[in-house]
């Protein structure tokens, strides 16, 4: 997950959060547009155009509501010879789902084949079960209408014919990778080696054994079960010793404040993954636009960076 961004189609790349802030790598791939989709997206590079979508990597997160705006953002950049990086935190689930929906829109592939196209370029691609269900629903109920809308906005060009050829080639490449066991379909058996590391295997599997219990006598002479506790734990109690009431109550007191509790993918989670803390980008004017969706900035609305500053300055003058 930390080996750099991967090319899916000409002008379309998938990467992780580290890739999105690696200016040297972005310039080497001539990235002009960045679609950032994770818990706290924001503009990190001044000379890039951004589409920021706030979304968690959970099965109940609705990503399908952003397929149309993402398709427009990606294709508008590609037909103008731009290069788009789609990234989430690991470049495995959220960003892949957006890329699969785009491939479905520009081709005649089902979501399963579109995922294979993406996997041939980025082998760790693995949307969670909820996102796969949304892609299935998108294919059954909304894809036809989305293609109609998409073609009205973007009439056919030379890029379309090239994409069809390249997608077919990617499918063939996927089959070759599968035969050579260089990729998996996400169904590796338990304790079986996974070539991409996305399935459970012996090195990843954690086997928890139940703690052994033994009998000990209490001060009253009765026998009770006592579980072994870790000797290095601060709450470790020696065998047969009953904690005093004050000591026992103090052990029940929470050691973490409510502010220190956080979701798995909060900014602090990003800090532990990337080594730097994530901060909300200040809204300073520049030539590149930023669109926010699903963020605290006017829920569900989009606005360019310059227009945000104009509205902010107007309010300050009042």
Residues tagged active-site: 88
Contact 93, 128 (CB under 8 A): yes
Cα torsion angle, 101, 106, 111, 116, sign? negative
- d(Cα 12, Cα 51) in Å, to the nearest integer? 14
Give me the DSSP letters along 88-130: -SSSSSHHHHHHHHHHHHHSS--HHHHHHHHHHH-TT----HH
Q: Three-state SS across 250-274? A: HHHCCCCCCCCCCCCCCHHHHHHHH
Tallying the residues shown for the chain, one arrives at: 318
Bridge partners of residue 36, in order along the sequence? 52, 87
Contact 264, 90 (CB under 8 A): no
Chain center to CA of 296: 19
Q: Which 3 state secondary structure label does DSSP give 68?
A: helix
């Amino acid at each position: 997950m930390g080996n750099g961004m991967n090319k899916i189609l000409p002008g379309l790349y998938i990467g992780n959060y580290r890739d999105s802030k690696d200016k040297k790598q972005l310039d080497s791939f001539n990235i002009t547009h960045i679609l950032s989709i994770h818990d706290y997206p924001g503009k990190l590079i001044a000379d890039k155009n951004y589409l920021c979508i706030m979304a968690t990597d959970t099965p109940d997160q609705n990503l399908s509501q952003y397929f149309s705006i993402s398709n427009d953002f990606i294709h508008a950049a590609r037909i103008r010879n731009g290069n788009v990086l789609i990234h989430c935190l690991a470049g495995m689930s959220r960003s892949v789902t957006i890329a699969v929906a785009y491939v479905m829109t520009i081709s005649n592939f089902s979501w399963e084949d579109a995922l294979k196209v993406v996997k041939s370029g980025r082998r760790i691609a693995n949307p969670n079960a909820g996102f796969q269900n949304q892609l299935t629903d998108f294919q059954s109920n909304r894809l036809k209408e989305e293609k109609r809308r998409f073609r009205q906005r973007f009439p056919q060009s030379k890029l379309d014919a090239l994409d069809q050829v390249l997608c077919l080639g990617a499918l063939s490449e996927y089959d070759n990778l599968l035969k050579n066991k260089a990729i998996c379909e996400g169904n590796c058996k338990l304790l079986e080696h996974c070539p991409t590391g996305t399935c459970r295997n012996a090195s990843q599997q954690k086997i928890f054994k139940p703690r052994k219990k033994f009998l000990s006598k209490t001060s009253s002479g009765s026998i009770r079960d006592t579980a072994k506790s870790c000797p290095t734990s601060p709450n470790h109690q020696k065998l047969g010793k009953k904690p005093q009431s004050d000591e026992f109550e103090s052990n029940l007191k929470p050691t973490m404040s409510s502010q220190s509790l956080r979701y798995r993918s909060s900014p602090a989670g990003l800090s532990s993954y990337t080594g730097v803390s994530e901060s909300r980008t200040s809204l300073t004017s520049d030539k590149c636009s930023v669109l926010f969706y699903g963020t605290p900035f006017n829920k569900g609305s989009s606005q360019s960076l310059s227009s945000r500053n104009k509205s902010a300055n107007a309010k300050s003058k009042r």
